[in-house]
Amino acid sequence: MDAAIEAFQKQKVIRHENLTWLLVAQAVVILPLLLRLPIWLWLVWAGVTFWRWRIFLGRQAYPSGIVKGGLGVACVAGLVVSYNGHVGMESMIGFLVCAFMLKVLELHTRKDGLLMLFIGFIAVATQFLFAQTALVALYAIFSCVTLIVAWHTIYATRSLTTRSKLLSGATLIMHAMPLMVILFVVMPRLGPLWQVPLPQTVGSTGFSETLSPGDLGRLVQSEGTAFRVTFTDSTPPAPVNFYWRGLALDYFDGRTWHLDQRWDRQPAHKVPATSLPKDSLSQYDIMLEPHQYRWLFSLSAPIDVKAVKPRAKITGAGLIVADQPVSTRMQYSAVSVQAADYPWKPLPSKARQRLTAIPERSNPEAVRLAGRWVLEGLSTQQKVDTALSLYRQSFYYTLEPPVLGDHSVDAFLFDTQRGFCEHFASSFTFLMRAANVPARVVVGYHGGTYNTLEDYWRIAQSDAHAWSEVWFEKRGWVRVDPTAAVAPERIEQGLSQALPSNERERVAGGLSRAPQWLVNIRQRFDAAGYAWNRWVLAYNDTQQEALFKKLLGGTDPWRVGLAFMGGVGLLFAAYMLFVIRPQYQRPTALQKAIKRFDRVCERLGYAREPDESLAVFSRRLGKGHPTVKPMCEQVARLSEDALYAGGDTAHQTLINTLNRFPKP
């Protein structure tokens, strides 16, 4: 009795193969997390793994309770120091990873291994807190496969090849996939856990609430994505008119343009779409990358915006603003109308005063030039044309403008005459204000790259642009882009075509000169990522309701419930038909060999009893027929080896021996 209990206890102990797969599964799960967490956690993981391996080899003892407690306290102290005492999502993930790693030192029985695997599945979910791309999802699936393989290995009674183990784990995941898809489509859309922002995962549009000379010149050298646009139910405007407005800067301190702090409090001018020309409207969906600010992007004059989380509204300045900073990827829909067809309200006197204000004793030469236009009695249009003709004369478009002095506008207009889009927009807006014309600087993006695979436009950071908006009494706000007067190819053909040859390779990392095959591969990857973001990550209650109406004819609970039960029923039927049923219909190679062996033995006058093992029957047959006794002994020995020792080799040898058993 004591020997049996001891054998049972030994069966529970973690064996070599169990431990190896547990460590492999842990490494796969925590690898993407360690890349985001403090670097000293790599040392903790390496040290714990080395210690546990020495325990298995019998060269070191299990740590005592005091040692394990000390290691836990040290890890917590390290996290406190690394995050400056801030208790946030990242520090909590670090604590989970520490617990996951230290659990290795307690691995002794199957129960310990199972607890470690359960922690591993939780750790897989935390991978999505840092990124939610399709590649991350595929890696999470692979992580789950390794955890399932480690789970299966704990209870395996025979040795299996690595390929068969991975195939078994992947098969279980694939069996669960259809049900997971049904649950994803049908279940109520609750805010995902990964909407909690993490400091290290914050993206950036590249510009802030201010604009100074040189800001956008540095930004266009980035190839990061700002947002993606899909036009819906309307013909998109010509790409030259892709002016994506983000901010309207209306305060100038002599060098830097600033955003009025009351920009989101101005009441919006609500205009029904039915009162506007249909061919003037543009409807589109935008997938915006996180940038930690509240402003959104739109074409021309937006008249409607729809967003689930965060919510959005249109301000009196014709801008779209969210009710909270955009800390995660956001999707929203907007409708814009061409500025010429928008019914602008008259400009209030206070707004006019603010939009014509310039600093005292700032840029005196530019002020004198604009003053002559006023004395000559030029109209607003004439002032605009005169200023643009000035830029066409001898100005130069470059990413490497000279440094400007205190009077930056004067230095640019009358000295260097070399600059980027913010130089032209800033100086032009200053001239208009000095000429008593309301004007403001608009910061956003121009252009984009069309992706034919998913029918959308990708707006990159390298498309960053600045232009001006001028107020006309009878027309309202009119876009004026002084950059187009200097470098029209920037607007018509893109940034790289407007720059001199020695500067083009600096734009977006020189990808404009990449071979076509590389551009095609990149477009395919970007299209796949956009489809994932749009149809999976951005799948909200609005899209769910539209899908139910399209497929089920409505969103009534009985329709959804019936569809869910029907889908699950079909999955169960398919599982029974294609997975369970074939297992009973198609015997294995070993079953076929045993069946042949039984038929041969029946001809010898011996029938195997239902509860009689192959080894016992073979030895009984050998005693009755000495001529086949050596072969029977071999069958008995091989059947026991295949049953207890395991391994594909033992099974195949038994099959070959049974098939060679001589017929009478």
Report pLDDT for 506: 54
User: Do 101 and 230 reside in the same domain of the chain?
Assistant: no
DSSP state of 395: -
Which ranges constitute the DSSP H helices of 311-420?
349-355, 364-375, 380-394, 408-411
Report pLDDT for 447: 87
User: Do 151 and 215 reside in the same domain of the chain?
Assistant: no
Q: Return the closest-CA partner of residue 123 out of 142, 104, 140.
A: 140
Active-site pick, 144, 421, 601, 632:
421
Number of Cβ within 10 Å of residue 126's Cβ equals 21
| Among 517, 532, 550, residue at a domain's last position | 517
Please give the backbone phi and psi of residue 332, each rounded to the nearest 5 degrees, phi first: -150, 160
Contacts of 486 (CB under 8 A, 6+ apart): 391, 392, 395, 396, 397, 424
| Among 517, 539, 562, residue at a domain's last position | 517
Active-site pick, 423, 446, 465, 651:
465
529, part of any domain: no
183, part of any domain: no
Report pLDDT for 646: 61
166, part of any domain: no
- What whole-number distance in Å separates Cα of residue 479 and Cα of residue 493? 19
For residues 420 and 399, the answer to whether their CB atoms sit within 8 Å is yes
The strand pair at 439-446 and 243-249 is best described as: antiparallel
| Among 517, 538, 555, residue at a domain's last position | 517
Domain around 603: 589-659
Establish whether 601 is a catalytic residue: no
Number of Cβ within 10 Å of residue 377's Cβ equals 7
For residues 395 and 417, the answer to whether their CB atoms sit within 8 Å is yes
608, part of any domain: yes
User: Do 309 and 450 reside in the same domain of the chain?
Assistant: yes
- What whole-number distance in Å separates Cα of residue 332 and Cα of residue 154? 48
Residue type, 358: I
User: Do 269 and 392 reside in the same domain of the chain?
Assistant: yes
Place of tokens 């801030």: 86
Report pLDDT for 45: 93
User: Do 509 and 620 reside in the same domain of the chain?
Assistant: no
Q: Which residues of 461-482 are buried (b: 16+ CB within 10 A; e: fewer)?
A: bbbbbbbbbbbbeeebbbebbb
- What whole-number distance in Å separates Cα of residue 600 and Cα of residue 81? 76
User: Do 152 and 222 reside in the same domain of the chain?
Assistant: no
Contacts of 146 (CB under 8 A, 6+ apart): 21, 24, 25, 28, 29, 169
Contacts of 294 (CB under 8 A, 6+ apart): 264, 321, 322, 323, 324, 325, 326
Report pLDDT for 513: 58
User: Do 482 and 611 reside in the same domain of the chain?
Assistant: no
Q: Return the closest-CA partner of residue 647 out of 18, 168, 316, 161.
A: 161
In angstroms, the Cα distances linking 551 to 177, 544, 563 are: 21, 10, 10
> What is the SS3 assignment for 442?
strand
User: Do 312 and 390 reside in the same domain of the chain?
Assistant: yes
Please give the backbone phi and psi of residue 358, each rounded to the nearest 5 degrees, phi first: -135, 155
Region of residue 207 (phi > 0: left; psi between -120 and 50: alpha; otherwise: beta): beta
For the chain, list residues with pLDDT below 50: 1-11, 193-194, 197, 199-203, 508-511
Active-site pick, 407, 481, 526, 651:
481
For residues 182 and 568, the answer to whether their CB atoms sit within 8 Å is yes
185, part of any domain: no
- What whole-number distance in Å separates Cα of residue 500 and Cα of residue 397? 8
295, part of any domain: yes
500, part of any domain: yes
Report pLDDT for 203: 43
User: Do 221 and 84 reside in the same domain of the chain?
Assistant: no
For residues 83 and 67, the answer to whether their CB atoms sit within 8 Å is no
3-state helix, strand, coil split of the chain in percent (to 5) is 55, 15, 30
Q: What is the dihedral of CA 120, 122, 126, 127, to 10 degrees?
A: 40
- What whole-number distance in Å separates Cα of residue 388 and Cα of residue 368? 17
Number of domains the chain contains? 3
User: Do 511 and 652 reside in the same domain of the chain?
Assistant: no
Report pLDDT for 287: 92
Establish whether 421 is a catalytic residue: yes
DSSP state of 130: T
449, part of any domain: yes
User: Do 303 and 417 reside in the same domain of the chain?
Assistant: yes
Please give the backbone phi and psi of residue 232, each rounded to the nearest 5 degrees, phi first: -125, 135
- What whole-number distance in Å separates Cα of residue 69 and Cα of residue 152? 31
User: Do 596 and 512 reside in the same domain of the chain?
Assistant: no
Q: Return the closest-CA partner of residue 225 out of 534, 531, 537, 529.
A: 529
Report pLDDT for 219: 64
